């Protein structure tokens, strides 16, 4: 049996469609690869097809461009998702009318929205020490001696002036997280400016996910969150 040949009418129709819309062929990689291979076989083994080589290079570049395009889209989506998350956390943080509710909300609802396992508000005071009154208000607030924040945010290279510090190693102290400390694998520390004539403050977030916070990640959203938090704290302190 011999292979059936296309009818003249079908061949003419196919030819007309290709002429009318070349993209039918040009956008199909498999078809183009087959046509190029057939062209190379027709030219013989000793002929170098520069056009074919150029086409292969263009195809490789196109694949790389598509990969880059997908990576950019994924990064943009992740950034948008993070922005929405921060915005929801800020709106929830601004809801309470009482300071006790503000702290309670911070350690519960805001922590859940941000998907972190612990949030602590750290304030420096010369009179730092166990205070039953503060403990009754919230376990989020932690009062420490002056200089603690500077030491806590420092790295192996020494003190830092950065507002936000991300790391995957929690300092060996249970002053902030207490019994949760051994379970935490990454942390974000945000330095707070609470206004003139007030001592330093710090907001820390801890996670049991080692990849939640790590050096090299962008800190713009956390800086924005810290800026809103500073303004809220100034209002409460006033």
State the pLDDT at residue 75. Answer: 64
Closest CA to 103 of 224, 223, 229, 212: 229
CATH 3.30.450.40 fits 85-237, yes or no: yes
State the pLDDT at residue 23. Answer: 75
State the pLDDT at residue 136. Answer: 56
State the pLDDT at residue 72. Answer: 73
Dihedral of alpha carbons 182, 183, 189, 192, sign:
negative
pTM for this one? 0.65
- Report the percentage of the chain scoring pLDDT > 70: 80
Closest CA to 104 of 114, 115, 113, 93: 93
Three-state DSSP state, 203: strand
Residue span(s) of the chain under CATH 3.30.450.40 come to 85-237
Phi and psi at 143, nearest 5°, equal -105, 130
State the pLDDT at residue 7. Answer: 66
Instruction: Tell me the C-alpha distance between 81 and 84, whole Å.
Output: 5
The CA-CA-CA angle for residues 54, 59, 64, to 5°, reads 125
State which residues of the chain have pLDDT below 70: 1-7, 36-55, 74-80, 128-138
Report, in this order, helix, strand and coil percent for the chain, each rounded to 5. 55, 15, 35
Q: What is the pLDDT of residues 153-168, one digit of tens each?
A: 987 777 788 899 999 9
Torsion angle defined by CA atoms of residues 121, 95, 224 and 74, in that order, rounded to the nearest 10 degrees: 110
């Amino acid at each position: 049996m011999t292979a059936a040949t296309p009818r003249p009418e079908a061949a003419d129709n196919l030819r007309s469609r290709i002429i009318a819309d070349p993209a039918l062929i040009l956008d199909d990689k498999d078809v183009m690869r087959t046509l190029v291979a057939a062209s190379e076989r027709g030219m013989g083994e000793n002929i170098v097809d520069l056009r074919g080589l150029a086409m292969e290079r263009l195809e490789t570049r196109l694949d790389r461009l598509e990969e880059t395009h997908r990576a950019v889209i994924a990064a943009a989506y992740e950034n948008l998702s993070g922005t929405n998350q921060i915005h929801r956390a800020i709106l929830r943080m601004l809801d309470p009318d009482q300071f006790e509710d503000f702290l309670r909300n911070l350690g519960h609802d805001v922590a859940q929205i941000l998907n972190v396992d612990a949030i602590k508000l750290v304030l420096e005071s010369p009179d730092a020490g166990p205070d039953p009154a503060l403990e009754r208000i919230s376990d989020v607030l932690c009062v420490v001696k002056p200089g603690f924040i500077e030491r806590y945010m420092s790295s192996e290279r020494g003190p830092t002036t950065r507002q936000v510090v991300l790391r995957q190693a929690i300092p060996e102290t249970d002053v902030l997280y207490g019994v949760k400390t051994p379970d935490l694998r990454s942390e974000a520390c945000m330095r707070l400016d609470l206004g003139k004539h007030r001592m330093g403050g710090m907001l820390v977030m801890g996670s049991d996910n080692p990849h939640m916070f790590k050096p090299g990640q962008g800190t713009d959203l956390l800086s924005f969150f810290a800026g809103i938090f500073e303004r809220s704290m100034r209002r409460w302190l006033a």
